[in-house]
Structure 1
Amino acid sequence: MSMTEADRARAPRRRDARERRDKLLAAARSEFAARGVDASLERIARNAGVAIGTLYRHFPTRMDLLLAAFEPRLQEFLGDATEVAELDDPWDAFVRYLENLFRAQAGDRGFNDFLSRRFPGSPETERIHDELCHQIGRLLARAQDAGEARPDITLADIVTLIWSNGRIIDATAATAPDAWRRHLHLMLDAYRAERAHPVPEPPLTEKQLYDAMVDLSKAD
């Protein structure tokens, strides 16, 4: 079928639109990685060489841009997590998962923010967070059932570890970018079943955890 004059006229416009979208995504990934999820959209548009109106035509909301920018990293992480979950040793699987998760945090401030917060107005981010929580819960339960992880550790304890790791990354990124690994493995040592001792404070409830993550998204 031959291309009509109208088709020929539209093809360059579609190509230009794809190129502008690609430039916006590249600028967004760079800016979110450096400055977090609250990075200036105007700066992203400027770095991409387009007007802010062009950004909004491609991505009507900040969350649309965030999801598009983070999609490759999320898909890579979720794919790696599926492989890790199939490891025979439950403790090794739990440790590998957290190492991969925290390594992703360390390499991208925006991804760090994304992991640490909840965005209840976005069904897609809620779905992604739920999937991450289910993965952590399954791996933790396997390690606990095997008698390798202490039985009183909860998902909330892992999320608070993600929060503390984010602060460590912020503090040491310029001077000791791998310092987070020491903290993680010190904490993992404390999570082993044979290290278990009574603790004076109960874990956060599911509601307390969720509300705290939502509050973080409002903080800035």
Structure 2
Amino acid sequence: MPRKVTHALRSDARDNRDRLLDTARALFSVEGLTVPMREVARRAGVGPATLYRHFPTKEALVTAAFEDQLRACRDIIDEACADPDPWRGLCQVIERICVLHAQDRGFTEAFLSAYPRAFTAAVGHGHMLEAIADLAGRAKRTGRLRPDFVPDDLVLMLLANKGLQTASPTARPAASRRFAAYVIQALTHGPHNTPLPPPARLATPEPGRGRARGREDRA
């Protein structure tokens, strides 16, 4: 095949992939992850075969679509862990991640539990959770973080923060920062603390959900 033709085909393939990712990000951000794959292809102006050639499953599409946000999350956590004051670092995680998640419904759904295996493999999702747990442990030892805090409380925070996505895009960052300030005050250890109910496991996928998703991925 002539070199110019080969280059044109590769360029077309890159353009199609970029257009699919841009379309997926826009749809997931507003409508969540329930958007069918064929709708992503239709909005991007390509056929379903082109979509599946680049992204065989919805898991692959979601992982690629949110790679930048995942990397931003990892950077936030890495910077916080490097802070010599672990309580200040944990507060920075809460403030910055709340704002990041308030802006994108699809990313919040994906991050919480929709595709845990893909996110773990993509940019160290498991590492991020372990790093937060270690940071929280160090913050407890300073006496600033209430001793009954558990990492799943951050999942609870993100679930509550997700409700801000119903507000106007311009209001979300300010509302999210205010919400984060309330969370930080609630987590601060002091004489006003009262015992909390037992923690709930919130980030574990439902049994059998992965098998069902295999059928949904090609919807």
TM-score of the aligned structures, taking structure 1 as reference length? 0.83
Identity fraction in percent: 31
State how far apart, in whole Å, the 2-side matches of 1:72 and 1:174 are.
20
Amino acid corresponding to residue 154 of structure 2 in structure 1: I
Runs of 4+ in 1 over 4 A off after TM superposition: 215-220
Corresponding residue to 1:151 among 137, 147, 158: 147
Residue 75 (1) aligns with residue 68 (2): no
Query: In 2, distance between residues paired with 1:19 and 1:151?
Result: 51
Taking the TM superposition and a 5 Å limit, the aligned residue runs for 1:68-147 are 68-119=64-115, 123-127=117-121, 128-147=124-143
Distance in 2 (CA, whole Å) between partners of 1:16 and 1:43 is 20
Whole-Å separation in 1 of the counterparts to 2:110 and 2:63: 10
Contact 2:155/2:203, CA 8 A, preserved across alignment: no
Deviation at 1:10, TM superposition (A): 1.8
Q: Does the CA contact (< 8 Å) of 2:152 and 2:203 recur in 1?
A: no
Task: Give the CA deviation at 1:6.
Answer: 4.1
Whether 1:209 aligns to 2:202 is yes
Match of 1:190 in 2: 186
Q: Is the 8 A contact 1:149 1:193 kept in 2?
A: yes
Match of 2:20 in 1: 24
Asked if 1 retains the 8 angstrom alpha-carbon contact of 2:111 and 2:119, the reply is: no
Task: Return the alpha-carbon distance in structure 1 between the equivalents of residues 159 and 25 of structure 2.
Answer: 21
Question: How many residues are aligned here?
Answer: 208
Could you tell me how far 1:48 is from its partner in structure 2?
1.6
Preserved CA contact (<8 Å) 2:98 2:161: yes
The runs of 5 or more residues in structure 1 that have no matched partner are none
Gaps of 5+ in 2: none
Note the aligned Cα RMSD (angstroms).
Answer: 2.5
Distance, in Å, in 2 between the alignment partners of 1:86 and 1:38 is 37
Question: TM-score by structure 2 length?
Answer: 0.84
For 2:166 and 2:24, the matched residues in 1 are separated by 23
User: Where does residue 165 of structure 2 map in the other structure?
Assistant: 170
- 1 or 2 for the larger relative contact order (CA 8 Å, sep ≥6)? 2
| Mapped contact 1:119–1:214 kept (Cα < 8 A) | no
Q: Deviations over 1:153-193 (max 9, x none)?
A: 001122111111112x1343468423232222112111111
Tell me the residue number matched to 1:64: 60
- Given the superposition, is the C-alpha separation of residues 175 and 14 from structure 1 closer, same or farther in structure 2, using an over 3 Å criterion? closer
CA contact 1:102–1:162 (8 Å) conserved in 2: yes
